[in-house]
Structure 1
Amino acid sequence: MKKTLIAATIVALSTTSSITMAQNQNFDYKVDRFADVEVLRYQVPGFDDLSLKQKTLVYYLTQAALLGRDILTDQNCKYNLQVRSTLESIYRNYKGDKTTSDYKNFVVYLKQVWFANGIHHHYSMDKFKPAFSQAFFDKQARALPASQLPLAKGQTKASFIKLMDKVIFDPTFMAKRVNLADGQDLIVTSANNLYEGVTQREVEAYYKSIKDTTDAHPISYGLNTKVVKENGKVVEKPYKVGGLYSAAITKIVDNLKKASAYAENDAQKAYIDKLIEFYTTGSLKTFDEYSIMWAQETKSDVDFINGFIENYGDPLSMTGSWEGMVQFRNKAASKRTGLISANAQYFENASPVDPRFKKENVQGVSAKVITAAILGGDSYPSTPIGINLPNSNWIRAAYGSKSVTIENITDAYDESSKGSGTVEEFAYSPVEVNLMKKYLTLADKLHTDMHECLGHASGKLLPGVDAGQLKNYRSTLEEGRADLFALYHMADPKLLELGIFTDSDTYKAEYYNYILNGLMLQLRRIEPGKNIEEAHMRNRMFVSRWCYERGKSDNVIEMVKRDGKTYIKINDYAKLRNLFGQLLAEVQRIKSTGDYEAGRSLVENYGVKVDPELHKEVLARYAKLNLAPYKGFVNPVYTATFDAKGNVTDVKVAYNEGYTQQMLRYSRDYSPLTK
């Protein structure tokens, strides 16, 4: 599971380390801005200190990470690759006036499609509304020769343009990529490309018929398949070499094979080879074997994620979106996460949940702070700041998990957000402003560490319970559970004892930041009149609102009106911690027992509805700051040099590529599904 950024404009306001500051001097983080997005770049400190063998390993792994871009784009919607290719052809061949509003708005739309890996917003899941005219698009598309349009076999240019008109300009056609609305058919009403010709009832019936509920080691059903109906029968089509996405997966495998030759140790080589076997066979048993091997190998400095991982893009939380990331250990910063993981059993024992739902023996919890070398697939351009894998509950229980906090990404967010004015605008008083400026850098990083390392790794399911029983609320509840575990334990004196905190008030900065964001700030990301639909936003809202409502009798959290503005005031941090503990116990019970109705009630009652007046106020106040609600990244560029025998002699990293330049290059060099 992954932890997304809580509030890029607030996180990490205190002084960064002298090493980071030295690295940041004269580095231009800001690359581009359009619509509601700001594009940044990140540094890769420490890359030059890697050995040539490690650099070569990173190089081939980055190639494998970039080659899955088309897979994710196609998973998001069946027309995405055609739309992207058409827009790019128009952009490259445009000869008209580039000062017109139509052209300028066309470029913004293209940049949005690149950023979201498709025609739906990466966070809200709503279809983009183009601000350029259909007449402009049709004229430019008609001017292109058929060879420069991605026509399907037997498709005429006229019929293709008519289809693109519907896909791009009809707001009712494929309106939402992932629909989580209660009471609707979530498969039929979602525009993603994970299902075709089937209903939610048919999909659930199909998996119920093939699942073995007595299996203590179940595979991750549906993780790497598209579910379709053929000859009236529901079937799965696997993503593998020779199956769906074969052209891309074959190239990924080719680069994984090259990377395998440069593995840091035999255990790492073994899990790379096992991943290749999974891609070749499509077997989820093999994927479990790979996940176990990957989780247990903790000695190497270079590591990576590559495959069908997170299921936020599936309304039923089954199919994994393709994701790639390459990283290496930040040894100095990993001391913090090492202390946390070494004390995982203490925190599990101290958790306020029912003992029936606790792990008696926490296995193999490892955590490290990493430097991201490349982002790909579902982690690009928008990326998480923390990851905990594998996602399989039984593998976590028996073999443990790996957690990472991506420090160079958070550093980039922090540096680009300095002086934004958000804290001063929304914090209740100078007390809260100073609290966050003094402590939030460390407090927020620790929240990410504990969310990933301890939160997702905590607790257990009762025998016979399937995590899939929570259906469309599964991801929201799991992210809320991990947040609550971290929030509750951040106030534990154990952190002072371990030397992670030196001041007992440190946790308060994250408490205030979390509640402020959950109840107010995150509303800046929602269009007027909309409710909350994205899983992470729902989880932050239900946690914050539940605590606000339950704490009213003791006035734990107060919403104060002053000069026509609303502010959050926390009156009792100790009681707020107690509320976090109560809610953690309930969410863990819901997960451990598979209580769908209780989970549904919690999310729908506390995590979905938006107060329209408060929403309007937040949007107006945030607009005055002139900030982009969403941020993402361009990748650094890696260039390898080779000798006459084809061996890598050096790898250099550069930060000189712009957003449009990178996107066009990726479409040219890393798009095997569009060739």
Structure 2
Amino acid sequence: MIRSFQRVSQSLIVSRRFSTGRNIFFPSLALRHSPSTEERIIMADFYADSKAPVSLLTAKSHFEKLTEKEQFYAHYFSKAAHFGTRVVLRQVSPESEAIYDLIISLYSSISGDFTKLHLNETEREELLEYFSQFLGNLGNYKSFGDVKFVPRISQEKFAAACADGGLSADFDKVKESIYSIYPPASTMLGYPESGHVTGYYPSTGLTISKAEVEAIHDAVGGIILPENTRILKTGEKTFEMLISSAVTAPIGGGDAKGQSEFSVDSLGATVKLVYGDHAREMGKIAEMLDKAREYAANKTQERMLVAYSASFREGSMQEHKVSQKEWVRDIGPSVETNIGFIETYRDPAGIRGEWEGLIAMVNKERTKTFGALVEGAKKFISLLPWDRTFEKDEFTPPDFTSLEVMTFAGSGIPAGINIPNYDDIRQTIGFKNVSLGNVLNARSSKEKVPFIAEQDIELYEKLRGPAFEVQVGIHELLGHGSGKLLTELEPGKFNFANGKVISPLDNQVIETYYRPGQTWGSVFGAVAGAYEECRAECVAMYLCPETELLEIFGHTDTSTDLGLADDVVFIAYLLMARAGLVALEYWDPQSGKWGQPHMQARFSILKQFLEYGDGSFVVLAQEEGDSETITIQMDRTKIASHGRPAVAAYLNKLHIYKSSGDAARGVPFFLDASSVPAHLAKLRPIVLANKLPRRQFVQANTEIVNGKVIYKEYEESALGMIKSFAERSV
């Protein structure tokens, strides 16, 4: 997610040439003059979004249909989820929590009336927009893109606003980190040794290296699951693994069975286990979940909540795995929930999870559609371009529901989810799919979008919502839900015919597989997230033309209200092509680093469209002499002859490499497929010039008044966003 800066206070100006051929200036922390016109143009790339669409994530009507018991259950779960807010802030950047406190303190000091500040209307709007985007991302780096954003309002005016609120000292502590964009590597999340920023490996004055992180994981990973940890480098040969827990000493020995220190032989170093990271927050979370248990609907939910509470109180990821087993077994609840250190996208190593919590109500009517999709899942999976050797021995039909989100605590809100991420649970017990209906509906609003050909605009605006719903449904259920990992379950015992499986890629006997204790994530490392998202996206593209599948969503050759089947397929492919082009925003030309796994995946799929066969399926067209626009020209008559075969060829390789644990070939294959060639890199400035601000969601709060749970919503504005956070008191 690449963005940029504003006027930064620095005494030294450093010029650096980017791929655009323009000079970019990085003012140092004491700049006394106003930036030149050229500096303003360049710095604008990093500004917080202006006039970003703000939507209320409403689920009030669904909440009010719940029983009183269910409302209390949702309330306490929501409180637990939001108590993880500060955990996310600490995971993003060293300064994020202090900026958060500054925002909430300023709001409180002026009683929410920003007209009290000595700012003009434009300056006030710029301040509110920065605050809103910060809160929407839970940090000063974009949750979708991992790139820093800075205020449009000048540092001097920001300081004056804080002075009005009696917070000058608080602002002085963070002003440098709010505005600084030098060195340029610090504008992206990633490994500290590359100059990037991360909260997963906090600085102690010593910089931890990628090699050290990987060596520690190899030494400890088989015993301690890493999702709820951070790592400190305390000396040249000493490290601490910080474990999130309410307690500061493991109960009953913890997951490590009483072992408190490990040797990392490859480094000649030791790593000490330290409990109590985020102790206050973990304690509050466990407390809220204990209260939620009083309102559980059944014994399965009770067991799930006991395990959740133990996990966060004791720092045990094994207990979290227990909670996820019970969660999968809790079929069709009225209130759907999930909470913990879930997705690993933002950890540079791809193994530590970011905190998130989901509380939502089931949309029963829309869920019927997904139920039909689940019923046909076995048949649809059998259509994928690999044989049964590389597919689960038995597909366990998951719970697949359409939800109306009340709470999604975390740095960003997805449109659909397929969890748990523990491979052994997915392979043996199952998983759940959820489609977040009120998120999907908000994202399908009819704002004009660039890069779509004039003749396709009307159909695109009509069907991008329905087409995206089809894509998300297939992606989550049949994409993430398909595939078998060829595994040595224990020494000498395999879940496949070892030594007899022939790879369809080279007709040779497959010699790679997952060893005992290995997981998909540990074998494929940092690329695993983007790789798997790409595989799931390809499954969606490959299967969406299936007539029977489209009929489930109401799209047939004769349908009019929901969209003709062929039209929906065309728009689904056009959506993917456009997403692949827009993805260039999230690629850094200096480091070659992708800031967002989904966009890395989508760009690689666009490359398949562009390069397949004679290259006539998709063309990125520019009129002669026009350097400001790009038009995606897609020949819809060639989806069957070019588009789908391109996806099939790509998907087959991605899947076989993953299934067989062949990271030695799979990782470089995917990295090459998602690399940006020079002729496409040249399009990035046009993509940046046409980028649209990302939607922000204002979420409701609940509170108990006179023994009743009250559902409180806020206005769709930056002020509504700030007020909603200020009233959560986390």
Q: What is the TM-score of this pair, normalised by structure 1? A: 0.81
* C-alpha separation in 1, matches of 2:226 and 2:304: 22
- Paired residues for 1:145-294 under 5 Å: 163-172=173-182, 175-176=185-186, 179=189, 189-196=195-202, 197=206, 198-212=208-222, 221-230=225-234, 232-242=237-247, 243-294=276-327
- Paired residues for 1:60-71 under 5 Å: 60-71=76-87
**Count of residue pairs brought into register by the alignment:** 598
> Residue deviations 1:29-60, cap 9 Å, x none?
xxxx9537322113214222222221222222
Which of 1 and 2 has higher RCO (CA within 8 Å, sep 6+)? 1
Distance 1:165-1:443 versus aligned 2 partners, 3 A rule: closer
* C-alpha separation in 2, matches of 1:346 and 1:375: 33
Deviation at 1:616, TM superposition (A): 3.5
Deviation at 1:541, TM superposition (A): 0.2
Deviation at 1:310, TM superposition (A): 0.6
- Say whether 1:574 aligns with 2:595: no
Structure 1 stretches of 5 or more lacking a match? 1-32, 150-156, 213-217, 643-647
Distance 1:55-1:668 versus aligned 2 partners, 3 A rule: closer
Among 590, 601, 609, the alignment partner of 2:668 is 601
* C-alpha separation in 2, matches of 1:579 and 1:635: 40
Deviation at 1:479, TM superposition (A): 0.5
* C-alpha separation in 2, matches of 1:559 and 1:309: 37
Deviation at 1:477, TM superposition (A): 0.5
* C-alpha separation in 2, matches of 1:655 and 1:100: 22
Deviation at 1:98, TM superposition (A): 1.0
* C-alpha separation in 1, matches of 2:725 and 2:550: 47
Deviation at 1:566, TM superposition (A): 2.9
Distance 1:254-1:443 versus aligned 2 partners, 3 A rule: same
CA contact (8 A) 1:533 1:608 kept: no
The aligned residue for residue 21 of structure 1 is none
- Say whether 1:298 aligns with 2:322: no
Among 395, 403, 417, the alignment partner of 1:387 is 417
* C-alpha separation in 1, matches of 2:580 and 2:91: 32
The aligned residue for residue 135 of structure 2 is 114
- Paired residues for 1:513-532 under 5 Å: 513-523=574-584, 532=594
CA contact (8 A) 1:98 1:104 kept: no
- Paired residues for 1:343-354 under 5 Å: 343-354=376-387
Distance 1:568-1:179 versus aligned 2 partners, 3 A rule: farther
CA contact (8 A) 2:547 2:556 kept: no
Letter in 2 for 1:513: L
> Residue deviations 1:332-385, cap 9 Å, x none?
11111111122222222221135432112112422111111122123xxx4111
Q: Secondary structure at the match of 1:520?
A: helix
* C-alpha separation in 1, matches of 2:281 and 2:333: 27
Deviation at 1:291, TM superposition (A): 1.0
CA contact (8 A) 1:637 1:657 kept: no
CA RMSD across the alignment: 3.1
Q: Secondary structure at the match of 1:65?
A: helix
Among 506, 509, 512, the alignment partner of 2:573 is 512
CA contact (8 A) 2:72 2:295 kept: yes
Task: Decide which moves more: 467-476 or 110-119.
Answer: 110-119
The aligned residue for residue 598 of structure 2 is 536
- Say whether 1:125 aligns with 2:124: no
Distance 1:528-1:634 versus aligned 2 partners, 3 A rule: farther
Distance 1:84-1:441 versus aligned 2 partners, 3 A rule: closer
Deviation at 1:229, TM superposition (A): 2.8
* C-alpha separation in 1, matches of 2:385 and 2:429: 24
The aligned residue for residue 452 of structure 2 is 427
- Paired residues for 1:405-416 under 5 Å: 405-414=435-444
CA contact (8 A) 2:396 2:429 kept: yes
The aligned residue for residue 34 of structure 2 is none
The aligned residue for residue 485 of structure 1 is 539
Deviation at 1:189, TM superposition (A): 3.5
Task: Decide which moves more: 164-173 or 233-242.
Answer: 164-173
> Residue deviations 1:88-125, cap 9 Å, x none?
44564686521186665444433332232122223232
Deviation at 1:499, TM superposition (A): 7.0
Deviation at 1:580, TM superposition (A): 1.1
| Identical amino acids, percent of aligned pairs | 22
* C-alpha separation in 2, matches of 1:383 and 1:359: 30
* C-alpha separation in 2, matches of 1:131 and 1:434: 35
> Residue deviations 1:397-435, cap 9 Å, x none?
101100000112212223xx22x232xx533353x3454
Q: What is the TM-score of this pair, normalised by structure 2? A: 0.75
CA contact (8 A) 2:714 2:724 kept: no
* C-alpha separation in 1, matches of 2:122 and 2:469: 42
Distance 1:505-1:140 versus aligned 2 partners, 3 A rule: closer
Deviation at 1:474, TM superposition (A): 1.0
* C-alpha separation in 2, matches of 1:187 and 1:54: 48
The aligned residue for residue 458 of structure 1 is 482
Distance 1:36-1:355 versus aligned 2 partners, 3 A rule: farther
Letter in 2 for 1:200: K
Letter in 2 for 1:580: V
Deviation at 1:275, TM superposition (A): 0.6
Q: Secondary structure at the match of 2:232?
A: strand
Distance 1:337-1:344 versus aligned 2 partners, 3 A rule: same
Deviation at 1:188, TM superposition (A): 5.5
Q: Secondary structure at the match of 1:426?
A: coil
